[in-house]
Chain A
């Protein structure tokens, strides 16, 4: 890149920043102009309007359009009513997708949270706790596609000759014959879940470990003096004290799982019975050219996320109230 390219680029950046400042000033000026008595409302309206416009254009309009599209045929030319939804719950492949998604959202958040909690409790207060936590947190730093490529090598299969996949090499060391891990349903679904759990356990550990530090020593000691066993302390003191952190972790992992696309795309392409909602949505709309079915999958995904978001928002509100 030469100097003129740089000035071009940063020149553009400067113009952008100046324009941004000018718009802000103009908005402020508009708000200033408003009459004194309902000024608060005016100021709010003026400063909210950019956000509202972006929300309308970027969220509300696409949502409405997607819902409309889900009632139309593959090329969007004719109205087909509920046909796409009927397809989603009767077609064996679509059903497989829904079943897989259900499995994912049950297994992954549960496993990630449990593993993270157990690990956090085990390393809590030990020597070298930081190193243990850093080790399990490392996969968080790897992108989903990167992680998928790494694990694809672990599961790599060759029918004969030298195995380049770790798992199959271990199999042959123990005298077994190599297995085509990623092509065997339903096992392959769980092997893909391992990848996401591997990534998310680090997140769960770090958050839960921080929460554990917040459990007051006094109540733990009080419980101990009252004669509670370590198991009882864990279940009746520690877990209730960090309940909200556990919920936050589970819900976050749940949402990450629900919108999971990368791992399936990079590892199996959704074949061999491993498709999930978010991947099938893309596959239908872009690879197979069926916008109607793609939109239907998007709506189903939307419908599944909403209850979780509502639960999460309520949970946060309650916490805020409790905090006061």
Chain B
């Protein structure tokens, strides 16, 4: 056996071990929480309006992957089998850069599911506005707040797809009832409750901002939640840069977040653990009563350990982030927008389908999901938290604002805001310094 051959074999062995190691670290895809196949969705009579699309192929690019993508494609499969159209879905972990390369290279997908409306608007010249049929479905299906985020320069380009509620504080219902705690309705009540908990000997808040290369984003949601509750006008001006990032109102809001996040009596394990605690595990101490509350979006319902009962009468559930001003009814949201780079008949049919009540009801049943589509039955959601989120999201009385960091330019919302919040929560920067630095990075 020659030397090179020996080296080759050893290398192959090492690579195999590396692969195995990579496989061990991969999250488990579990098929639980699957609902029954919806009846309406499988009835081809409901798809007649789209006509016969035999031989047509529509390509869709999105950031959704793994189990969630499978559940989404399951909801699409009924459309495909009834209309004979083919939907080619591609999920990417590098959505921002892939979109730019594809569009600049003249190789754009027919439809893209944009998680950031800000990013979507940079492709305005290549996007096709929504057709009248899509517009009609969108106006029927979503509140004006939502449609604003799919609108560029007064023209509707995209209807929303999924939606998730971000202004949630996770807590343990049993722990609250055992100790006689009430769910706080206002910011002052929230602080009063936290103080009571401190007096009773626990550190009430769990927080973790660590998320690998995106470390810091859970912190941006905190600031957004507080700015939004100072007033929707301030919030809108802030995300569109009509007021600077270091406006005194914003600095005050950051300080207000600091009353919790920079308070060593409040934070479980101390404030210096926040930036290095993984957001996925941040809320776990709630389960054993080590802390009482953790602020995280509705999708956190899927991140609890497997045996956790996530329900209003279970181990953990969420209440809405309290309002600062009386009479406000606000919700910070995230979600995707269905934008098209092609105006072919098949593409338009798919867009209409994705905006239809039929699809949104079906998708609620194929896996954990929440939506803001008017007319869906929240009871179709497969988990209690998604049902709760869908109830809030479809309530027209709720004022909805999109996650600000997804609306700001990438160099702020996906870069300097993240780093700023980490430095701030570590105590390396004051609220003013952090806001000044982020303002300077605004392109």
Binding site for B on A (CB under 8 A): 74, 91-93, 130, 134, 137-142, 146, 149-150, 153, 156-160, 164, 180, 183, 268-272, 282, 286-290
Q: Are A183 and B275 in contact (CB under 8 A)?
A: yes
Q: Are A289 and B122 in contact (CB under 8 A)?
A: yes
Partner of A180, one of B119, B210, B437: B210
Partner of B278, one of A149, A159, A268, A289: A159
Q: Are B14 and A142 in contact (CB under 8 A)?
A: yes
Name the distance in Å between B305's Cβ and chain A's nearest Cβ. Answer: 11
Name the distance in Å between A65's Cβ and chain B's nearest Cβ. Answer: 13
Q: Which of B129-137, B247-255, B410-418 contacts A (4 or more CB under 8 A)?
A: B410-418
**Given known contacts A141-B8, A270-B213, what 18 new A-B pairs fall within 8 Å (CB)?**
A91-B441, A93-B416, A134-B6, A138-B11, A142-B11, A150-B18, A158-B278, A159-B269, A159-B276, A183-B215, A268-B213, A269-B212, A272-B215, A286-B101, A288-B409, A288-B410, A288-B411, A290-B443
Binding site for A on B (CB under 8 A): 3, 6-8, 10-12, 14-15, 18, 21-22, 25, 94, 96-97, 100-101, 119, 122, 208, 210, 212-215, 269, 273, 275-278, 281, 409-411, 414-416, 418-419, 422, 437, 441, 443
Q: Are B213 and A180 in contact (CB under 8 A)?
A: no
Q: Are B100 and A271 in contact (CB under 8 A)?
A: no
List the B side residues contacting A153 at CB < 8 Å.
21, 25
Closest A-chain residue to B413, C-beta based?
Answer: A288
Expressed in whole angstroms, the Cα–Cα distance for A201 and B275 within the complex equals 34
List the A side residues contacting B94 at CB < 8 Å.
287
Partner of B281, one of A149, A159, A183, A289: A159
List the A side residues contacting B25 at CB < 8 Å.
153, 156, 164
Q: Which 10 A-B pairs have the closest CB atoms?
A: A269-B213, A141-B11, A286-B97, A180-B276, A288-B410, A288-B411, A159-B277, A287-B96, A287-B97, A271-B213
Expressed in whole angstroms, the Cα–Cα distance for A164 and B26 within the complex equals 12
List the B side residues contacting A137 at CB < 8 Å.
7
Expressed in whole angstroms, the Cα–Cα distance for A289 and B119 within the complex equals 9
Expressed in whole angstroms, the Cα–Cα distance for A8 and B414 within the complex equals 45
Partner of A289, one of B276, B410, B419: B410
Closest A-chain residue to B12, C-beta based?
Answer: A141
Name the distance in Å between A128's Cβ and chain B's nearest Cβ. Answer: 13
Partner of A286, one of B7, B21, B100, B213: B100
Closest A-chain residue to B419, C-beta based?
Answer: A271
List the B side residues contacting A289 at CB < 8 Å.
96, 100, 119, 122, 409-410
Closest A-chain residue to B273, C-beta based?
Answer: A159
Asked, given contacts A138-B7, A138-B10, A289-B122, whether A93 binds B410 with beta carbons under 8 Å apart, the answer is no
Partner of B443, one of A74, A93, A158, A269: A74
List the A side residues contacting B277 at CB < 8 Å.
159
State the total of A-B contacts with C-beta under 8 angstroms: 96
Expressed in whole angstroms, the Cα–Cα distance for A245 and B215 within the complex equals 43
Expressed in whole angstroms, the Cα–Cα distance for A297 and B213 within the complex equals 21
Name the distance in Å between A244's Cβ and chain B's nearest Cβ. Answer: 25
Q: Are B414 and A287 in contact (CB under 8 A)?
A: yes
Q: Are A141 and B213 in contact (CB under 8 A)?
A: no
Q: Are B281 and A141 in contact (CB under 8 A)?
A: no
Expressed in whole angstroms, the Cα–Cα distance for A139 and B94 within the complex equals 27
Asked, given contacts A134-B7, A142-B18, whether A269 binds B214 with beta carbons under 8 Å apart, the answer is yes
A-B contact pairs, 10 of them (CB 8 A): A134-B3, A134-B10, A141-B10, A142-B11, A146-B18, A149-B18, A159-B276, A164-B25, A286-B96, A288-B414
Asked, given contacts A138-B10, A142-B15, A159-B278, whether A288 binds B415 with beta carbons under 8 Å apart, the answer is yes
List the A side residues contacting B409 at CB < 8 Å.
288-289
List the A side residues contacting B11 at CB < 8 Å.
138, 140-142
Name the distance in Å between A272's Cβ and chain B's nearest Cβ. Answer: 7
Q: Are A157 and B14 in contact (CB under 8 A)?
A: no
List the A side residues contacting B215 at CB < 8 Å.
183, 271-272
Name the distance in Å between B211's Cβ and chain A's nearest Cβ. Answer: 10
Partner of B411, one of A139, A159, A180, A290: A290
List the A side residues contacting B214 at CB < 8 Å.
269, 271
Expressed in whole angstroms, the Cα–Cα distance for A35 and B195 within the complex equals 98
List the A side residues contacting B122 at CB < 8 Å.
289
List the B side residues contacting A141 at CB < 8 Å.
7-8, 10-12, 14-15
Expressed in whole angstroms, the Cα–Cα distance for A138 and B96 within the complex equals 35
Name the distance in Å between A179's Cβ and chain B's nearest Cβ. Answer: 8
Expressed in whole angstroms, the Cα–Cα distance for A159 and B278 within the complex equals 8
Name the distance in Å between B125's Cβ and chain A's nearest Cβ. Answer: 10
Partner of A138, one of B3, B14, B410, B437: B14
List the B side residues contacting A156 at CB < 8 Å.
25
List the A side residues contacting B21 at CB < 8 Å.
149-150, 153
Asked, given contacts A141-B14, A146-B18, whether A271 binds B278 with beta carbons under 8 Å apart, the answer is no
Name the distance in Å between A279's Cβ and chain B's nearest Cβ. Answer: 11
Closest B-chain residue to A184, C-beta based?
Answer: B276
Expressed in whole angstroms, the Cα–Cα distance for A203 and B201 within the complex equals 59
List the A side residues contacting B6 at CB < 8 Å.
134
Name the distance in Å between B24's Cβ and chain A's nearest Cβ. Answer: 8
Q: Are B15 and A146 in contact (CB under 8 A)?
A: yes
List the A side residues contacting B208 at CB < 8 Å.
159
Q: Are A149 and B22 in contact (CB under 8 A)?
A: yes
Name the distance in Å between A261's Cβ and chain B's nearest Cβ. Answer: 13
Expressed in whole angstroms, the Cα–Cα distance for A237 and B425 within the complex equals 57
List the B side residues contacting A272 at CB < 8 Å.
215, 419, 422
Partner of A271, one of B15, B273, B418: B418
Expressed in whole angstroms, the Cα–Cα distance for A101 and B14 within the complex equals 30
List the B side residues contacting A288 at CB < 8 Å.
409-411, 414-415
